[in-house]
Amino acid sequence: MSKLYKIDRIVDDRWAVWYQEINAKGKLGVYKIIDLYPGTRPAKFAFRWKVNGSKSQEQLDAQIIGNAIRNYYKSGGFRGTKAEQE
């Protein structure tokens, strides 16, 4: 059985967020974020990480998605939040 992305949520009637579970080196899954407006880049990806601080998993997920949307049009890779990059 192949792993497929499943719709997770719609943010601000503009962003479609899809999710696929993975299990590799602390990563829980990957979000695929698509801008629903025409003429935009195809997709942006952001990894979902295990929580390892005072936040809950839901707060961390919301922060990862928010950061990915905010940085959607910046070039280069995006790895979630600053804390996971260190």
Element (H, E) at 30: strand 27-35
Q: How many alpha carbons lie under 13 Å from residue 39 in its C-beta half-sphere?
A: 0
Note the pLDDT tens digit of each residue in 28-78. 899 999 999 877 778 889 999 888 888 899 999 999 999 999 988 877 655
The whole-model pTM stands at 0.76
* Confidence class for position 13, pLDDT limits 50, 70, 90: very high
Q: Pick the residue with more confidence: 64 or 1?
A: 64
